[in-house]
């Protein structure tokens, strides 16, 4: 079994931009969310994966990821999921750790986070000057919460 050990943060500024070493664009669809975890479909260029994530225990949770045909991913995202999450991920190396800075587009446009994956939950992390408040455990910043809020706001009548 694999594990994801990840911490998530708000950004203070754009000081990360000059240090970007890679840029990727993703489209995600949430198939299922429950207290015990979630199932997500991700499309990146002409590759796709289905990911099953278990419940968090601190900053660690079980994670299983399998490559699937791109046509299956597109069909699932377009017919089985709610609004697709579109984002550009910028990779930045700082103090020997790869940070992911995600800039969302589409329904979550304007949402920006930084994440860092660790080898061990007790691993020490040196923080760049552009990292803000930690939001790893803040339910307000989970994708399903943000999506639900955006969908609800879209359904409100214009005044």
Contact between residue 139 and residue 145 where contact means Cβ atoms under 8 Å apart: yes
Among 38-52, 90-104, 132-146, the range scoring the smallest mean pLDDT is 132-146
pTM of the model as a whole: 0.89
pLDDT at position 5 is 96
* Structural domains of the chain sorted by starting position, each given as residue range(s) with its CATH number in brackets: 2-155 (2.40.320.10)
122: alpha, beta or left? (left if phi > 0; alpha if psi -120 to 50): alpha
Residue-wise pLDDT tens digits, 16-29: 999 999 999 999 99
pLDDT at 156: 54
pLDDT in the model for residue 159: 43
Strand partners, 115: 8, 100
Name residue 48's beta-bridge partners: 43, 68
Residue 34 near residue 52, CB atoms below 8 Å: no
* Placement of tokens 């994708």 in the chain: 143
62/42 Cα distance (integer angstroms): 17
**C-alpha span between 40 and 32 (Å, rounded):** 7
Chain Cα centroid distance, residue 131: 16
For the stretch 107-133, pLDDT in tens is: 899 899 999 999 999 999 999 999 999
pLDDT band at 154 (very low <50, low <70, confident <90, very high): low
What does the pLDDT read at residue 122?
A: 95
């Amino acid at each position: 079994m694999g594990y994801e050990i990840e911490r998530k943060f708000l950004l203070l500024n754009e000081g990360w931009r000059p240090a970007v070493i890679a840029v990727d664009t993703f489209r995600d669809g949430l198939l299922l969310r429950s207290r015990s975890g979630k199932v997500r479909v991700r499309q990146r260029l002409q590759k796709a994966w289905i990911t099953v994530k278990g419940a968090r225990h601190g900053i660690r949770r079980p994670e299983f990821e399998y490559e699937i045909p791109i046509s299956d991913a597109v069909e699932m995202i377009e017919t089985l999921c709610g609004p697709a999450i579109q984002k550009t991920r910028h990779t930045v190396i700082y103090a020997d750790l790869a940070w992911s800075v995600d800039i969302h587009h589409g329904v979550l446009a304007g949402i920006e986070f930084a994440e860092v994956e660790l080898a061990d939950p007790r691993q020490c992390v040196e923080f760049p000057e552009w990292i803000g408040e930690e939001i790893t455990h803040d339910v307000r910043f989970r994708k399903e919460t943000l999506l639900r809020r955006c969908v609800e706001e879209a359904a409100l009548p214009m005044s």
